[in-house]
Amino acid sequence: MEEKKKKKKKKEKKKKKKKKKEEEGGGGEEEEGEEKKEERRRRRKRRRKRRRRKRRRRRRRRRRRRRRRRRRRKKEERRKRKEEEEEEEEKRENEAEEKEDAKKRK
């Protein structure tokens, strides 16, 4: 019941306001309504553009980060492989030298 009363009061207030405006401005309320609608449309458009830009920026950043990470990983892997190969090569050379030394001793 209370809600209905509140709604009724609100409606009455709106009607009074509308009457006042019509008396003062001569019914120019419709034009203002159109302007407001247009302004809302513009705002929505701006918001959408901002959101799109933000999304694009985020996507770009993510892509860049992923690329950087991949590159870093690949570089690290290459470096590790190189180091391992060099160590293997050194081991082989050392073993060969040891064998030669052993032959010379005999």
Distances (CA, A) of 85 to 14, 48, 57, 88, 93: 84, 55, 41, 5, 12
Percent of the chain with pLDDT over 90: 61
Q: What is the pLDDT of residues 34-81, one digit of tens each?
A: 999 999 999 999 999 999 999 999 999 999 999 999 999 999 999 999
Mean pLDDT of the chain: 90
